[in-house]
A = this chain, B = another copy of it.
Amino acid sequence: MHRTHNCGELRIQHVGTKVTLAGWVQRVRNKGGLIWVDLRDRYGLTQLIFEEGSTPKELLEKAASLGREFVIKSTGTVIERTSKNDKIPTGDIEVKVEVLEVLNPAKIPPFLIEDETDGGDDLRMKYRYLDLRRNVVRQKLQLRHRMMQETRKYMDGQDFIEVETPVLIKSTPEGARDFVVPSRVNPGEFYALPQSPQTFKQLLMVSGFDRYFQIVKCFRDEDLRADRQPEFTQIDCEMSFVNQEDVLSMFEGLTRHLFKQVKGIELEEVGRMTYADAMRLYGNDKPDLRFDMQFVELNNLVKGKGFGIFDQAELVVGICAKGAGSYTRKQLDELTDWVKRPQIGAKGLVYVKFNEDGSLKSTVDKFYSQDDLGQWAEAFQAEPGDLMLVLSGDAKTVRKQLSELRLKMGEDLGLRDRSVFKPLWVVDFPLLEWDEETNRYHAMHHPFTSPKAEDIPLLDTDPGAVRANAYDLVINGVEIGGGSIRIHDRTTQQLMFKHLGFTEEEAQKQFGFLMEAFEYGAPPHGGIAFGFDRLCAIFGGSDSIRDYIAFPKNNSGRDVMIDSPSPISNDQLEELSIKLDVKAD
């Protein structure tokens, strides 16, 4: 037997017990004839002690020779510590060692295995198995584990059936780029890896499964950005005989269950906001509601006063930053530079300081009187000590810019506390969005999302105005997941494909099986998918999903630890009936 206890469980009541522990050497201290070894495993840290005089010399030497990260097994007696450590649960005791065995020595690790490490990103990716040894990293994956178990417990409790949908499926032109898998048995043909189990979960509804869920890997061969992974995990769900409100309340329930069980937080009720309102009030379909700072539109106050920039702008809109009236000239200049950065792209920033003495000081005093500015302040519901920040331009662009500025102000003013969670359902998304590149409408959500019944007539006259039965869950400005009530009849589905620019033949070839399924008795149904990696990151208070994935890939889609992707043999290529066709750069 390798151990009687783990390194986290011995307490004062174990004093006198003979125990065997196994684990990793965290630290060896050698002082005044005493040697202490901190022994670590997943469960905790236990101090081993060796004492000149009472410990045999050979054993003392062996202890002194231990290096960091050696794997050892040691037997001894639990004794009470003379100086206790109340920072760790085992701090009242130590183990007086009688037998010590080195199970495996260790080379000096390339970086410190401590909460604060000296290893850079690249090195920690290459030795991910050592990075995972750090408590702070392992705890993130333990959080993920807990989230998975609690998700399944809730879904099972609500009569959802977990069904594994296939990974080797069929490539479709809609959506992001597919990863494909050449078929050996069917030369010249390919499987694709799923971007989501969308069609399968809808077929399960046609099958009468009624409630389906799965925590499932999905794949997108997109150009990678920071915090995007080629493979990612979804909580994927679908329900039959439901309307939108049924789905929202079910998954509000899941969200509240997770917060309660995993973080001990009673989440507030999740409000609803239309997409239109979210864009108007926050310039963003995923507003961070941890702070207010709503947009105030100023067109009817600012026009016609001789300030050309505002006069020519489609939209003049601003925010009021409470208490930021104390910003210095330098801070305000920096803010102006910030909005002018190419990433934001504003031409300039107009601000109005509401001084403590009641006076108003703006960058456009030349055009606007104290009275004018007073009207602005009223619109902003500003008070002395506040700072009003105003941008202008075409409506879509300026909303986006002001949204960024709002988030920055929230950050700078300490309003985006990671221990506070503000959830929101954004509803009534547009069904379609115009794509400049391909010069046609794309499905904003996906082609299976149903339009609002009352908006269907608009499909022919004003497609961009058609609203969908689609919804997103947003927490703290992060999109956690989204879904929709689906189309469940062939006629509407065909109409939808037509509006997306599919020929009848294309639609039939790609999605004929689904449309045919709709003819054999498809129930009304809808569902949702949560981005599980992101949900874990939000719960862990982190912006990056990468730490919540055991073996992530880097920004080139490469696993630097195992060195993948990599070339394969000519035999393999030949068996798969493919050849390389690599262009010289």
Within the complex, the shortest CB–CB distance from A329 to chain B, in Å, comes to: 47
Within the complex, the shortest CB–CB distance from A101 to chain B, in Å, comes to: 11
User: For the complex, is A88 an interface residue (Cβ under 8 Å from B)?
Assistant: no
Determine the distance from Cα of A512 to Cα of B489 in the docked complex, in whole angstroms. 55
- Contact (Cβ within 8 A) B207 A71: no
One of A161-169, A415-423, A448-456 at the interface = A161-169
Q: Mark A37-80, 1 if CB is under 8 A from B, else 0.
A: 00011110000000000000000000000000111010000000
Q: How many residues of A contact B (CB 8 A)?
A: 126
Residues of B within 8 A of A132 (CB): 204, 207-209
Residues of B within 8 A of A557 (CB): 168, 183, 185-186
Determine the distance from Cα of A300 to Cα of B149 in the docked complex, in whole angstroms. 60
With A103-B524, A180-B181, A567-B188 known as contacts, the answer to whether A41 contacts B208 (CB < 8 A) is yes
Residues 84-124 (chain A) with a chain B CB within 8 angstroms: 103-107, 109
- Contact (Cβ within 8 A) A106 B168: no
- Our pick among B24, B187, B513 for the contact of A563 (Cβ within 8 Å) is B513
Residues of B within 8 A of A538 (CB): none
- Our pick among B71, B106, B180 for the contact of A182 (Cβ within 8 Å) is B180
Q: Which residue of B lies closest to A166 (CB)?
A: B551
Q: Mark A1-35, 1 if CB is under 8 A from B, else 0.
A: 11100100000000000000011100000000000
User: For the complex, is A267 an interface residue (Cβ under 8 Å from B)?
Assistant: no
Residues 235-270 (chain A) with a chain B CB within 8 angstroms: 241-243, 246
- Our pick among B185, B208, B563 for the contact of A133 (Cβ within 8 Å) is B208
With A181-B180, A568-B180 known as contacts, the answer to whether A142 contacts B161 (CB < 8 A) is yes
- Our pick among B103, B206, B577 for the contact of A523 (Cβ within 8 Å) is B103
Determine the distance from Cα of A164 to Cα of B552 in the docked complex, in whole angstroms. 11
Determine the distance from Cα of A160 to Cα of B341 in the docked complex, in whole angstroms. 49
- Our pick among B170, B173, B219, B578 for the contact of A579 (Cβ within 8 Å) is B578
With a 10 A CB-CB cut-off, give which of A106, A109, A241, A574 has the most chain B CB atoms. A241
- Contact (Cβ within 8 A) B199 A564: no
With A129-B206, A181-B181 known as contacts, the answer to whether A580 contacts B578 (CB < 8 A) is yes
Residues of B within 8 A of A127 (CB): 520
- Our pick among B145, B180, B581 for the contact of A572 (Cβ within 8 Å) is B180
Determine the distance from Cα of A578 to Cα of B559 in the docked complex, in whole angstroms. 22
User: For the complex, is A138 an interface residue (Cβ under 8 Å from B)?
Assistant: yes
Residues of B within 8 A of A217 (CB): 164, 167, 217
- Contact (Cβ within 8 A) B141 A163: yes
User: For the complex, is A379 an interface residue (Cβ under 8 Å from B)?
Assistant: no
With A186-B557, A207-B133, A520-B130 known as contacts, the answer to whether A191 contacts B145 (CB < 8 A) is no
- Our pick among B3, B71, B520 for the contact of A522 (Cβ within 8 Å) is B71
Q: Mark A171-200, 1 if CB is under 8 A from B, else 0.
A: 101000111111111111111110000011
- Contact (Cβ within 8 A) A190 B565: yes
Within the complex, the shortest CB–CB distance from A559 to chain B, in Å, comes to: 7
| 27 A-B pairs (CB sep. < 8 Å) | A1-B243, A42-B209, A73-B241, A104-B522, A109-B520, A127-B520, A138-B207, A145-B156, A145-B161, A145-B162, A164-B217, A164-B549, A166-B231, A166-B559, A168-B557, A168-B559, A169-B559, A170-B563, A170-B564, A180-B568, A180-B576, A181-B565, A188-B567, A189-B566, A203-B551, A577-B581, A579-B580
